Amino acid sequence: MANISPRKLRDDLYCYSYQQDSSLPLVISVLASLIERNLARNERIAKNCTWALSKNVRTRVFDCHETPDMTIQSYLERIFRYTRAGPSVYVVAYVYIDRFCQLYPEFRISPRNVHRLLITTIMVASKYVEDMNYRNSYFARVGGLTTNEMNKLEMEFLFMMGFKFHVNVSVFESYCRHLEREVSIGGGYEIERTLRCAEEIKSKQIEERSCCSQITRVLL
């Protein structure tokens, strides 16, 4: 976290590239730091309070038999490397995680469930934000799951959330500000707010495709 500069954060905000060789979005490091701190707090609570463990069978769908030997940062980097999901996807995924925790206050993010929760929320967020997406089977391979497991997690998550996945601009920006406070106490730094930027990119791509089709018709 200390290596993230305000200038770099602002550059990523306004100039993030969606090309295949684009660098790792800084929001991934910020999100990883926040979740890891949440994990540490929950582990301290679990040691002192047995009631802190979730007894809700539905929320335990995210529990795995063995704790994955991969840090949150490495897992998020892997997801980005193979899906190239833009920064806004991770912000929206964080919104979903927060909503889920509010809906099920007995649920605690733990080493046993955090990886499955992340791959599920990121996949669902990607479907909400992006125009084109990989199949569930691909997300499953990226996340270290079988296709059946991925399908089940998605279905359970959709119903547990009541299919409430809309994120308006004001909510999106409020969560961006919350993540910015992770970078520096007192805020003022900005991570990649790319919802509007992504819309501009998509609009330009549509215009380019339209132009190309017109040129093709002229040539024919």
Q: How do residues 97-110 score in pLDDT, each as one tens digit?
A: 999 999 999 899 99
Structure tokens at 116: 């499955």
The 10 Å CB-count burial string (b at 16+, else e) for 134-151 is: bebeebbebbebeeebbe
State the angle between helix axes of 114-129 and 147-160 in degrees (0 to 180), rounded to the nearest 10.
70
Structural domain count of the chain? 2
Provide CB contacts within 8 A for 196, sequence distance 6+: 169
Would you say residue 91 lies in a domain? yes
Would you say residue 1 lies in a domain? no
Looking at the structure, do residues 81 and 182 belong to the same domain, yes or no?
yes
Interatomic CA distance for residues 59 and 117, integer angstroms: 10
Would you say residue 63 lies in a domain? yes
Looking at the structure, do residues 117 and 195 belong to the same domain, yes or no?
no
CB-hemisphere CA count at 13 Å for 178? 14
Domain that holds residue 199: 189-219
Would you say residue 138 lies in a domain? yes
Looking at the structure, do residues 118 and 164 belong to the same domain, yes or no?
yes
Q: Which pLDDT score, from 0 to 100, does residue 193 have?
A: 55
CATH number at residue 135: 1.10.472.10
Looking at the structure, do residues 90 and 133 belong to the same domain, yes or no?
yes
Q: Which pLDDT score, from 0 to 100, does residue 14 have?
A: 43
Looking at the structure, do residues 107 and 154 belong to the same domain, yes or no?
yes
Q: Which pLDDT score, from 0 to 100, does residue 12 have?
A: 56
Q: Which pLDDT score, from 0 to 100, does residue 22 have?
A: 62
Would you say residue 97 lies in a domain? yes
Looking at the structure, do residues 182 and 204 belong to the same domain, yes or no?
no
- Which amino acid makes up residue 73? Q
Looking at the structure, do residues 38 and 69 belong to the same domain, yes or no?
yes
The 10 Å Cβ neighbour count of residue 172 is 18
Would you say residue 31 lies in a domain? yes
Q: Which pLDDT score, from 0 to 100, does residue 10 have?
A: 46
Q: Cβ distance 68 to 176 under 8 Å?
A: no
Looking at the structure, do residues 107 and 208 belong to the same domain, yes or no?
no
Question: Of all residues in the chain, what percent carry a pLDDT higher than 70?
Answer: 70
Q: Which pLDDT score, from 0 to 100, does residue 211 have?
A: 53
Looking at the structure, do residues 13 and 95 belong to the same domain, yes or no?
yes
pTM of the shown model: 0.77
Looking at the structure, do residues 161 and 128 belong to the same domain, yes or no?
yes
Q: Which pLDDT score, from 0 to 100, does residue 114 have?
A: 96
Looking at the structure, do residues 96 and 147 belong to the same domain, yes or no?
yes
Q: Which pLDDT score, from 0 to 100, does residue 13 have?
A: 44
Looking at the structure, do residues 209 and 168 belong to the same domain, yes or no?
no
- Where the chain has pLDDT below 70, the residues are 1-22, 49-56, 184-220
Would you say residue 42 lies in a domain? yes
Would you say residue 2 lies in a domain? no
Q: Which pLDDT score, from 0 to 100, does residue 161 have?
A: 97
